[in-house]
Amino acid sequence: MSLMESKGALAKATKELFEKWSQAKEIWSDAQSRELEKNFFGQLEQDVRTAIGALDRMDSVIHKIRNDCE
């Protein structure tokens, strides 16, 4: 799997997770669900953005290396 395929898979899985979480919040709305959202989902969103940015940078570096080796 290429880096860009991995990036796409990560983005898709994250989107699906947040969609499922949105559905769950419709029936689960208490202090525990709010704590989970604050402590887990808030950080997860930032971590995924960071990972996607890192995958973009790694892809650029790999392309540059390939071009330099030709």
Q: What is the reported pTM?
A: 0.81
> How much is the pLDDT for 50?
96
> How much is the pLDDT for 70?
85
Query: Average pLDDT, stretch 32-41?
Result: 93
pLDDT tens, position by position, 45-70: 999 999 999 999 999 999 999 999 98
Domain that holds residue 29: 3-69
- Please count the structural domains in the chain: 1
Q: Which residues of 17-52 are buried (b: 16+ CB within 10 A; e: fewer)?
A: eeeebeeeeeeeeeeeeeeeeeeeeeeeeeebeeeb
Q: Which residue has the tokens 């969103």?
A: 45
Cα–Cα distances in Å, from 50 out to 33, 38, 53, 54?
25, 18, 5, 6
11 CB-near residues (< 8 Å, 6+ apart): 48, 52
